[in-house]
Structure 1
Amino acid sequence: MNNKQQSTKHCGICDKTKKEGIYLYQLFICAECEKEIVATDPSDEVYSIYVKKLKAINQSTFTM
């Protein structure tokens, strides 16, 4: 029996459970949101939503 099942994680941007993505500090960002963030123009309405959600990273990190 193979126990190498890919785990799912909760995306901090779209609030959906996904299998693939990246961690930016402690925030998981799914692959789809990562692509959207990179491709979004700052003049788009959704850009400010991404910025707001990414700002939450600052509030959950600490310095050593």
Structure 2
Amino acid sequence: MHEEQGHRCIICGHHKAEGILILSEYICDACEAEMVQTDATDAKYHFFIHQLKQIWIEKNA
């Protein structure tokens, strides 16, 4: 996919047009919805936390 088709999601890696920006990093609507519905005991929760930490690591590097 090309950049003009949207931003690259830091969670799923796909380029999508709809989503949110957090400190200039993009999260698509689908990943945002899945994150807020994921229980803290779910294994995928830890994956989301790891991906979100990348925002802070990149901004503080």
Taking structure 2 as the reference length, the TM-score comes to 0.85
Is the radius of gyration larger for structure 1 or structure 2? 1
Distance 1:16 1:7 in 2: 10
RMSD of aligned alpha carbons = 1.4
- Deviations, residues 13-59 of structure 1 (Å, cap 9, x unaligned): 00011010000112100000000111100000100000000001111
Match of 1:22 among 20, 23, 41: 20
Unaligned runs of 5+ in 2: none
Equivalent AA in structure 1 for residue 50 of structure 2: K
Q: Percent of aligned pairs with the same residue? A: 35
Which stretch has the larger CA shift, 18-27 or 6-15? 6-15
Unaligned runs of 5+ in 1: 1-5
* Counterpart residue number, 2:58: 60
Taking structure 1 as the reference length, the TM-score comes to 0.81
Equivalent AA in structure 1 for residue 9 of structure 2: C
Structure number with the higher helix fraction is 2
